[in-house]
């Protein structure tokens, strides 16, 4: 508890001294009378002032939230000695915001617990520590203020809000396990693939009677089997462009969470490689627990400055299974990430790049020279994109405010019409 005198105490003491001394100097008792109410206030108020002995209990509804969601936090405050006016502030880290009043002022009668409800909104994904309450009280006369930070910090995880995607990127190759992706190969499945002559051993129910009647011989239907795929989300965390509360990393993490959610709901195996100053990875796996692992891993994602040269060699082999689709989310700002992606492509991986555009976050050039430099920078980026396209890598620019479905559709269109070089 920090106790400090308020400006009011000094002012009243000064006015009292001034009045008394002026009364003496001028020989006017009226001035002493003028000062006496202030003197009485001090004489009564100062001895009464005491530590209110405040205790606080904080009870959040839950310790996990989704971006843009809200929860109510109950704060119970008790002042053993009472407080005329207590300002109670639930301390919120950057990324969380209170909906409504925070702080609030309450009268705290002695030994009575008052309950406050603060509605908290999660503005940005991340792992936070919260639960501390700052309480400031003043004594009855307002001569002293008592400030204290109470409560214990507890973890809160705010998960990125996943965006619903109508269609996903289909990998070039599927894995042998069952899933929702229609494989290019032929086998047992639902999707019709082709017709072929009947051979002994074929099941009768696969005979296409209409085609058999037309051709005078037995023909059977062939189908594409439904298989799952391996998808690795490659997150470039070497550098980001940021303006205020929003940056390319925020967008990339949200996109990664959405992609992971969608692929895992389609029974695919999803892995994560966070490639930056610190390398984090999750080997591909399937199921809800993998989604939680990925999202928890994404929450810890941050840009860590590093000058060390890193290439794809440092990524563990099991993290990048053969025939996996690698979806890269990158602002294309660091040549190490660019080099690693090009390296992946030359090693034959099925790669798609979603470029989280840093352009909305760059300052507008103010003079001709700046404009020229900006134009050059954009040209270099366009050349870089061409380099990817030349290698058969679909690359699409994604900006803030545009749904993730748009770049995915662009990549799908590229893959549909472009030939893949091997």
Partner 1 sequence: MLLAAVLAAVPAVQDPTLLALGGAAVFVLLVGVSSARALAIPWAIAGLGAEYALALGDGGLDSRVPLYAVSLLVTAELAYWSVQLRGAAADEPGMAQRRVIGLLLGATAALVVCTTLVTLARIQLGAGLAAEATGLAAAVCAVALLLVAVRRTSGA
CB closer to partner 1 out of 41 and 298: 41
Distance, in Å, from the CA atom of 187 to the CA atom of 311, rounded to the nearest integer, reads: 39
Residues 1, 135: contact at Cβ < 8 Å?
no
Distance, in Å, from the CA atom of 219 to the CA atom of 221, rounded to the nearest integer, reads: 7
One character per residue 140-169, x = contact with partner 1 (rule: CB under 8 A): x-xxx-------------------------
One character per residue 96-135, x = contact with partner 1 (rule: CB under 8 A): -----x-xxxxx----------------------------
Residues 134, 149: contact at Cβ < 8 Å?
yes
Helix (H, G, I), strand (E, B) or coil at 303: coil
User: Where in 391-410 is the site for partner 1 (CB under 8 A)?
Assistant: none
CB closer to partner 1 out of 53 and 85: 85
Q: Does 207 bind partner 1 (CB under 8 A)?
A: no
Distance, in Å, from the CA atom of 300 to the CA atom of 305, rounded to the nearest integer, reads: 15
Window of 41-49, 74-82, 234-242, 346-354 that interacts with partner 1 by CB under 8 A: 41-49
CB closer to partner 1 out of 137 and 228: 137
Sorted by sequence, the CB contacts under 8 Å of residue 26 that are 6+ apart come out as none
Number of residues that bind partner 1 (CB under 8 A): 57
Sorted by sequence, the CB contacts under 8 Å of residue 44 that are 6+ apart come out as 141
Q: Does 3 bind partner 1 (CB under 8 A)?
A: yes
Q: Does 18 bind partner 1 (CB under 8 A)?
A: yes
Q: Is the dihedral of CA 175, 178, 183, 188 positive or negative?
A: positive
CB closer to partner 1 out of 6 and 212: 6
CA-to-CA dists, residue 60 to 76, 88, 176, 275, angstroms? 11, 16, 45, 35
CB closer to partner 1 out of 45 and 247: 45
CB 132 to partner 1: min, Å? 17
Q: Which residues pair with 345 in a beta bridge?
A: none
Q: What does the binding site for partner 1 look like in residue numbers (CB under 8 A)? A: 3-24, 26, 28-43, 46-47, 49, 84-85, 87-89, 101, 103-107, 140, 142-144
């Amino acid at each position: 508890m920090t106790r400090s005198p308020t400006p009011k105490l000094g002012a009243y003491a000064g006015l009292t001294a001034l009045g008394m001394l002026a009364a003496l100097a001028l020989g006017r008792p009226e001035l002493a009378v003028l000062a006496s109410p202030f003197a009485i206030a001090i004489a009564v108020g100062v001895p009464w002032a005491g530590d209110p002995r405040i205790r606080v209990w904080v009870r959040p509804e839950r310790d996990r939230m989704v971006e843009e969601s809200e929860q109510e936090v109950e704060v119970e405050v008790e002042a053993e000695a009472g407080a005329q006016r207590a300002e109670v502030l639930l301390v919120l880290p950057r990324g969380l915001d209170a909906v409504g009043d925070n702080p609030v002022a309450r009268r705290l009668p002695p030994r009575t617990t008052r309950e406050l409800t603060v509605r908290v909104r999660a503005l940005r994904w991340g792992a936070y520590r919260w639960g501390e309450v700052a309480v400031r009280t003043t004594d009855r006369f307002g001569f002293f203020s008592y400030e204290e930070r109470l409560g214990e910090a507890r973890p809160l995880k705010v998960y990125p809000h996943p965006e619903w995607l109508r269609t996903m990127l289909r990998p070039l190759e599927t894995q042998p396990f069952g899933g929702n992706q229609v494989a290019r190969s032929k086998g047992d499945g639902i999707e019709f693939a082709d017709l072929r002559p009947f051979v002994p051993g074929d099941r009768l129910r696969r005979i296409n009677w209409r085609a058999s009647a037309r051709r005078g011989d037995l023909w059977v239907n062939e189908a594409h089997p439904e298989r799952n795929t391996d998808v690795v989300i490659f997150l470039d965390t070497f550098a980001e462009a940021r303006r205020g509360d929003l940056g390319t990393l925020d967008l990339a993490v949200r996109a990664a969470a959405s992609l992971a959610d969608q692929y895992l709901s389609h029974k695919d195996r999803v892995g994560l490689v966070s490639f930056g100053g610190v390398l984090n990875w999750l080997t591909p796996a399937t199921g809800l627990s993998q989604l939680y692992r990925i999202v928890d891993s994404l929450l810890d994602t941050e840009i860590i400055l590093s000058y060390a040269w890193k290439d794809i060699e440092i990524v563990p082999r099991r993290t990048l299974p053969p025939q996996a689709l690698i979806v890269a989310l990158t602002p294309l700002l660091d040549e190490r990430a660019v080099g690693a992606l090009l390296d992946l492509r030359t090693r034959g991986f099925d790669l798609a790049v979603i470029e989280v555009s840093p352009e909305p976050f760059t300052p507008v050039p103010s003079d001709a020279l700046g404009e020229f430099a900006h134009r050059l920078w954009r040209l270099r980026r366009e050349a870089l994109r061409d380099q990817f396209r030349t290698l058969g890598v679909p690359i699409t620019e994604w900006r803030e405010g545009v749904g993730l479905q748009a770049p995915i559709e662009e990549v799908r269109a590229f893959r549909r019409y472009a030939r893949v070089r091997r």
